[in-house]
Amino acid sequence: MTKVAAIVLAAGRSSRFRAAGGAEETKLVARLDGRPIVRSVVEAALASRAGPVIVVVGHAQGAVEAALAGLPAVIAANPDYASGLASSLRAGLSAAPADAEAALILLGDMPRVSAQLIDALIDAFEAGPQALAVLPVAQGRRGNPVLLSRRLFDSARRLEGDEGARRLLAGLAAGSVVEVAARGADVIFDVDTPSDLAATRLAQE
């Protein structure tokens, strides 16, 4: 069975969320469906075939770790989180086991991603040995999480600032990126502001 690590990026400063009036130290601990957002993401990863589940923390580290209390996730601290997303990606990849053939990169502010979707991405990776990356597509847009083959790890570690996997994927040949159809908008929905959160809560009522 293919070993795929799950890396949850949860170190960001939530600048937009707090600037827009968010009361929490980080949007990742704001509650949706009765749980902190980041906990929903980590629980989905834990329920999938991926493992280990690595959570990269930085800003509001204590609050994020408290939100994950009792979950069997590996915590990887990123002291350079203020430099941008790329540093968290490096920290997560550095914490991945040496025998992991790929890593699934999840964003801590995307609470609608399911274990079923994660497994579908892993299945697609196994079915396409030429694949360097696998990602979901919904409503004509590429979404998250993104699965990266180990063959891309070195390139991913060289990213800087707020660059994530998107720039990496843009430079790959079309045949090396596998797209998996996803229903709804779960793979493109994230929480950036308190109004995003409020709108989601209202939609569920």
Mean pLDDT check: name the lowest of 20-29, 83-92, 141-150: 20-29
Are the C-beta atoms of residues 11 and 81 closer than 8 Å to each other? Answer: yes
pLDDT of residue 205: 46
pLDDT of residue 203: 54
pLDDT of residue 95: 98
- pLDDT tens digit string along 149-202? 999 999 999 999 987 888 889 889 988 999 999 988 889 888 888 888 877 765
Report CA-CA distances (Å) from 204 to 32, 143, 144.
10, 22, 22
Rounded Cα distance between 33 and 40, Å, is 9
**How many CB atoms are closer than 10 A to CB 181?**
9
**How many CB atoms are closer than 10 A to CB 78?**
24
- pLDDT tens digit string along 43-86? 999 999 999 999 999 999 999 999 999 999 999 999 999 999 99
Q: Can you say whether residue 194 is alpha, beta or left, with left for phi > 0 and alpha for psi between -120 and 50 degrees?
A: alpha
- Compute the mean pLDDT over every residue in the chain, rounded to the nearest whole number: 92
Residue 5 confidence (pLDDT) above 50: yes
pLDDT of residue 204: 56
Structural domains of the chain, count: 1
- pLDDT tens digit string along 77-112? 999 999 999 999 999 999 999 999 999 999 999 999
- The CATH number of whichever domain residue 21 belongs to comes to 3.90.550.10
Residue 12 confidence (pLDDT) above 80: yes
**Mean pLDDT of the region 9-30:** 88
Domain of 100 in residue numbering reads as: 4-204
Label residues 37-60 b or e (16+ Cβ within 10 Å = b): bbbbbbbbbbebbbbbbbbbbbbb
